[in-house]
Amino acid sequence: MIVKLDTQKALVLFSGGQDSTTCLAWALERFEAVETVGFDYGQRHAVELEARPRVLAALRAGFPQWTAKLGQDHVLPLGVLKAIGGSALTDDMKIEMGEHGLPTSFVPGRNVLFLTAAAALAYRRGIAVLVGGMCETDYSGYPDCRNETIKTLEAALDLAMEAPFRIETPLMWLDKAETWALAEKLGGQALVDLIVEETVTCYHGERATRHDWGYGCGVCPACELRAKGYANYVSQ
Ligand code: ZN
């Protein structure tokens, strides 16, 4: 017996960063009801989790067309990733090129765990659509950001729960400049400003220095990508 899920409801994997905030706006434009889920996995940049309620409040206050659609927010603990460790996102390690041609910020299995936990929550909430900011264009070689990984996981989750999940990844083929442009298309300059002011992308979670593209240390790979993307976006 296949479970019935509502295809007009979406659950957005929402970290409080630029990409997932853009995905949230994308979902709010398309679906009747949208919920959000974040994961506490012992990330060193826990300032990211603090940004989540700020971004949600700013979206509710600044975008009346979306307010009624934006439903419950969930935070799930996934401390297993911290317990396993070995990544610069969970341990005190330098972010640099590591083994197997992957940066030390790689967390093995992270997106698979995130999407599996999100699907289990969506099952309970009657939600058919999962939305994630995975992106193959700037993916730093993370194999769990590839479209093929996501599509295969979607099929596995359907089978595992006998539920017709659909995983949407609106940023999959966009570069960072195009992600800024998508935010502008969805919510105008007001959404671009909200993303600059409130979202956190920096691997060190730095919020002391304000650049034209937002807050961050300015030198970690995540800041470099965000800065470069913003520069390309404003020059277009
Ligand atoms: Zn940084």
pLDDT in tens, 16-36: 999 999 999 999 999 999 999
Q: Which pLDDT score, from 0 to 100, does residue 139 have? A: 65
Distance 222 CA to ligand 1 centre (A): 6
Q: How far apart are CA 82 and CA 107, in angstroms?
A: 9
Burial of 29 (0-12, 13-18, 19+ CB in 10 A): middle
Distance of CA 35 from the midpoint of ligand 1 (Å): 28
Sign of the dihedral through C-alpha 99, 134, 188, 192: negative
Give residues whose Cβ lies within 5 Å of ion ligand 1.
Answer: 202, 216-217, 220, 223
Q: 215 alpha carbon to ligand 1 midpoint, in Å?
A: 8
Q: Which segments in the chain show pLDDT lower than 50? A: none
pTM of the model: 0.94
228 C-alpha to ligand 1 centroid (Å): 13
Torsion of CA 87, 209, 25, 162, to 10 degrees: 10
d(CA 228, CA 122): 35
Q: What domains are defined for the chain?
A: 6-235 (3.40.50.620)
Q: Give the model confidence (pLDDT) of 80-98 as tens digits.
A: 888 887 787 777 877 777 7
Q: To 10 degrees, the CA torsion angle through 200, 202, 205, 210?
A: -70
Distance (Å) from CA 126 to ligand 1 centroid:
37
